[in-house]
């Protein structure tokens, strides 16, 4: 199956060429038919004039013989036939049962239709005899009798070969074919040049649009002429300028928002430090307080801890947004790093660890701790035991998997689990919704990937970190 070209350049060239081919064929066909008609008409006129002159010069009496006139003899008919002689011609003359032939063709080669019409007027007809085209001119001789035309019964049929005319037509056909081919080639070249000229502004617009898509918002195009493409270029420049202005405003607002979050987070650290110190003192006294005040104290302690965690996460997020987060790579024994992470948070007895003791990888230890802590913490808070963390080395990096055996994450929430502040419909007591997004940011900072898949039961998070 021949593929159909879909490019605008190809379609323009094909359309232009088809129009040129069609016009050339029409013009060549009309020219050929006109030349053929003129050539045939000239040949017929010449042949008819020749036959008419020869027949008008008959000196022997024919038709109704008058006193003293003798009927024509065979010799006279032969002499008449000889007068029509010419290169390649054949002549048939008949009179009152006598037939005289001169040439290879005979009376039997005269078409019946032409023979029947020849007794009424001088007629001509083209026909093919023995694979060769002939023009046959037939006529009956009339004799004037008292001012009236009287049929004499003498008929003459002259076969004019059209070999030379066919050669001329063949030569004309070849010339027209070569000229048509040359015109088509010229049209093709003109089509290519025209398509290039027409599509050059389109290519420039495409390249400029690609540059805009890559973030070069100062891209503009020069305007040439006053046609539709020039108008399109002006519209593109206007749209690019408006887009650049809008993006600049959005970036300014985004920068202000990031600074606001960072400033607020840092400002909250001071009162949080004081609140944490007071909370530590209250926690020591909570056991000696009555039940109602003790519950209130424990609630305040939990909320202070949540607020402290939220502020730390916001500060971490602001670092990523500002582009100031960096990696401090060092050789890390994965098993020890995982054990330390779980021990610091009191999760050792709640998590099953499957990892090789000798597995060492170049990582940012602090950020790897954040990744593991967020994934395991998410599994403990929202999943169900057993929670399993496994790590293994691959040919091109480190693979870490964390799985719980809970109810799992709803299918409609899976594409959004790494979005900031996304909680999949969970209540206020289940964290800030920033943990998984921070884990993903740390994975991406390492140049790795993170994914989530539903299990039966539970959920599986997979982290891949490349060799540094």
Residue 189 inside a domain? The answer is no
CATH code at position 458: 3.30.565.10
Total tally of structural domains belonging to the chain: 3
pLDDT at position 145 over 70: no
DSSP at 407: S
Q: Check whether residue 51 and residue 143 sit in a common domain.
A: yes
CA distance 319 to 442: 11
The average pLDDT across 338-359 equals 89
Residue 28 inside a domain? The answer is yes
The average pLDDT across 207-219 equals 84
Which pair of structure tokens corresponds to residue 296? 């209130």
CA dihedral sign, ordered 334, 395, 446, 400: negative
Residue 175 inside a domain? The answer is no
Q: Check whether residue 113 and residue 254 sit in a common domain.
A: no
Q: Give residues with Cβ within 8 angstroms of 311, minimum separation 6.
A: 265, 268, 269, 272
Assign 429 a pLDDT band (cuts: 50, 70, 90): very low
pLDDT at position 212 over 50: yes
pLDDT at position 148 over 80: no
Q: What is the pLDDT of residues 267-310, one digit of tens each?
A: 666 776 777 777 777 777 666 777 777 777 777 777 777 777 76
CATH code at position 302: 1.10.287.130
Residue where the block lists tokens 């389109």: 202
Residue 210 inside a domain? The answer is no
Domain boundary among 325, 355, 379: 325
CATH code at position 98: 3.30.450
**Cis preceding linkage at 386, omega within 30:** yes
CA distance 440 to 443: 5
Assign 427 a pLDDT band (cuts: 50, 70, 90): very low
Structural domain range at position 110: 8-169
Q: Check whether residue 75 and residue 18 sit in a common domain.
A: yes
**Given this model, what pLDDT does residue 421 score?**
76
pLDDT at position 58 over 90: no
Q: How confident is the prediction for the chain on average, in pLDDT? A: 82
Q: Check whether residue 15 and residue 164 sit in a common domain.
A: yes
Q: What is the pLDDT of residues 149-191, one digit of tens each?
A: 677 788 899 999 988 888 888 898 898 888 888 888 888 888 8
Q: Check whether residue 133 and residue 46 sit in a common domain.
A: yes
Q: Check whether residue 331 and residue 423 sit in a common domain.
A: yes
Total length of the chain: 468
Is the pTM higher than 0.85? no
Q: Check whether residue 337 and residue 437 sit in a common domain.
A: yes
Within a 10 A sphere around the Cβ of 34, how many other Cβ atoms?
10
Query: Quick check: helix, strand or coil at residue 229?
Result: helix
The average pLDDT across 222-227 equals 81
Closest Cα partner for 396 from 468, 326, 313, 300? 468
Q: Check whether residue 311 and residue 367 sit in a common domain.
A: no
Q: Check whether residue 333 and residue 315 sit in a common domain.
A: no
**Given this model, what pLDDT does residue 3 score?**
59
Q: Check whether residue 298 and residue 385 sit in a common domain.
A: no
**Given this model, what pLDDT does residue 426 score?**
46
Could you give the count of Cα atoms lying within 13 Å of 440 in the half-sphere of its Cβ?
14
Q: Check whether residue 330 and residue 270 sit in a common domain.
A: no
- Mode of pairing for the β-strands spanning 387-394 and 351-355: parallel
Query: Quick check: helix, strand or coil at residue 354?
Result: strand
pLDDT at position 428 over 50: no
The average pLDDT across 304-323 equals 68
Assign 259 a pLDDT band (cuts: 50, 70, 90): confident
Phi, psi dihedrals of residue 460, rounded to the nearest 5° = -120, 125
| Segment (H or E) for 238 | helix 228-285
Assign 383 a pLDDT band (cuts: 50, 70, 90): confident
How deeply is 197 buried, as exposed, middle or buried, from its count of CB atoms within 10 A (0-12, 13-18, 19+)? exposed
Phi, psi dihedrals of residue 351, rounded to the nearest 5° = -125, 135
Residue where the block lists tokens 């060239």: 13
Q: Check whether residue 299 and residue 336 sit in a common domain.
A: no
The average pLDDT across 391-410 equals 89
CA distance 91 to 107: 9
CA dihedral sign, ordered 50, 53, 55, 60: negative
How deeply is 449 buried, as exposed, middle or buried, from its count of CB atoms within 10 A (0-12, 13-18, 19+)? middle
Name the residue with higher pLDDT: 203 or 451: 451
CA distance 332 to 365: 7
């Amino acid at each position: 199956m021949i593929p159909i070209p879909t490019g605008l350049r190809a379609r323009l060239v094909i359309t232009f060429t088809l129009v040129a081919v069609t016009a050339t064929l029409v013009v060549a066909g009309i020219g050929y038919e006109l030349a053929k008609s003129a050539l045939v008409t000239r040949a017929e006129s010449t042949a008819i004039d020749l036959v008419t002159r020869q027949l008008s010069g008959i000196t022997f009496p024919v038709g109704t013989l008058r006193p003293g006139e003798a009927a024509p003899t065979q010799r006279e008919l032969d002499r008449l036939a000889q007068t029509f002689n010419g290169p390649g011609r054949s002549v048939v003359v008949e009179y009152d049962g006598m037939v005289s032939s001169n040439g290879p063709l005979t009376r039997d080669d005269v078409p019946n239709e032409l023979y029947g019409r020849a007794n009424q007027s001088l007629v001509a007809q083209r026909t093919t005899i023995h694979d060769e085209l002939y023009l046959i001119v037939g006529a009956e001789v009339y004799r004037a009798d008292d001012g009236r035309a009287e049929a004499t019964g003498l008929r003459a049929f002259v076969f004019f070969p059209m070999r030379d005319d066919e050669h001329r037509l063949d030569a004309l056909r070849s010339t027209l074919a070569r000229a048509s081919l040359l015109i088509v080639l010229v049209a093709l070249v003109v089509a290519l040049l025209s398509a290039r000229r027409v599509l050059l502004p389109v290519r420039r617009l495409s390249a400029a649009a690609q540059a805009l898509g890559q973030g070069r918002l100062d891209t503009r195009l020069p305007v040439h002429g006053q046609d539709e493409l020039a108008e399109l270029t002006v519209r593109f420049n206007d749209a690019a300028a408006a887009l650049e202005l809008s993006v600049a405003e959005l970036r300014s607002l985004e920068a202000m928002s990031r600074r606001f979050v960072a400033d607020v987070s840092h400002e909250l650290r001071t009162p949080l430090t004081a609140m944490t110190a007071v909370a530590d003192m209250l926690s020591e006294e909570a056991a000696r307080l009555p039940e109602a005040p003790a519950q209130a104290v424990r609630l305040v302690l939990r909320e202070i801890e949540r607020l402290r965690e939220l502020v730390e996460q916001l500060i971490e997020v602001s670092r990523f947004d500002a582009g100031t987060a960096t990696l401090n790579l060092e050789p890390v024994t994965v098993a020890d790093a995982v054990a330390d992470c779980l021990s610091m948070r009191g999760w050792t007895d709640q998590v099953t660890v499957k990892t090789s003791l000798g597995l060492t990888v170049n990582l940012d230890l602090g950020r790897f701790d954040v990744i593991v802590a967020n994934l395991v913490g998410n599994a403990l808070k929202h999943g169900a035991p057993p929670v399993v963390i496994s790590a293994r080395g691959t040919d091109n990096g480190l693979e870490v998997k964390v799985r719980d055996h809970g109810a799992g994450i709803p299918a409609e929430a899976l594409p959004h689990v790494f979005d900031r502040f996304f909680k999949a419909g969970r209540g206020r007591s289940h964290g800030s919704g920033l943990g998984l997004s921070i884990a993903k940011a740390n994975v991406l900072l390492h140049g790795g990937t993170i994914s989530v898949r539903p299990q039966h039961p539970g959920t599986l998070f997979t982290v891949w970190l490349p060799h540094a």
